[in-house]
Amino acid sequence: TAPLRVALPDEKATAALGERIAEVLRAGDVVALSGGLGAGKTTLARAIIAALGHAGEVPSPTFAIIQTYDPPGVALPLVHADFYRLEDVGEVEELGLDDYRDGAALIAEWPEQAGGFAHEANCLSIRLETADDGRLAIVEPGEGWLNRLP
């Protein structure tokens, strides 16, 4: 299927896309966010995390690489990963991601640094690009996402 192009003229629009994704997000899913530095990946990740009920701060996980969200009141346990600093794909295993993957949704920045997730049916791939003052999201749903995004 053709990728979906979603204009994100401002951060409000990014928040709205985050809400749409959060509504249909399930355990075992991956939201793979690609795009250069400043493309808006963390902003969209935060929007999804907030929409799922996480009220507190959402630090950028660049240094910790993975950040987990499983407090009471959060609809779905989440792992927010930023693979920017991974030096080698082999390091992914050391992060222990597999311990979380089954029971949580994974939001991944710089997914290609971790070998990529697009081969997984439950991967929603989103590429963010700058467009005028805002952003453009190019959304490619895996098979497991068909008919889930209205």
Q: How many CB atoms lie within 10 A of CB 80?
A: 27
- Minimum CB distance to ligand ADP smaller for 59 or for 103: 59
94 binds, among ligand ADP, Mg ion, none (CB under 5 to 8 A by kind): none
Residue for token digits 């994974």? 106
Rounded to a whole number of angstroms, the minimum distance from the CB of residue 143 to ligand ADP is 26
Tokens of 2: 């053709």
Q: What DSSP character marks residue 10?
A: S
Angle formed at CA 28 by CA 70 and CA 68, multiple of 5 degrees: 25
Tokens of 128: 């963010």
- Minimum CB distance to ligand ADP smaller for 16 or for 97: 16
Does residue number 134 form part of the binding site for ligand ADP (CB under 6 A)?
yes
Taking CB under 6 A as the criterion, the residue among 18, 35, 111, 142 binding ligand ADP is: 35
Residues that bind Mg ion in the complex, under the rule CB under 5 A = 41-42
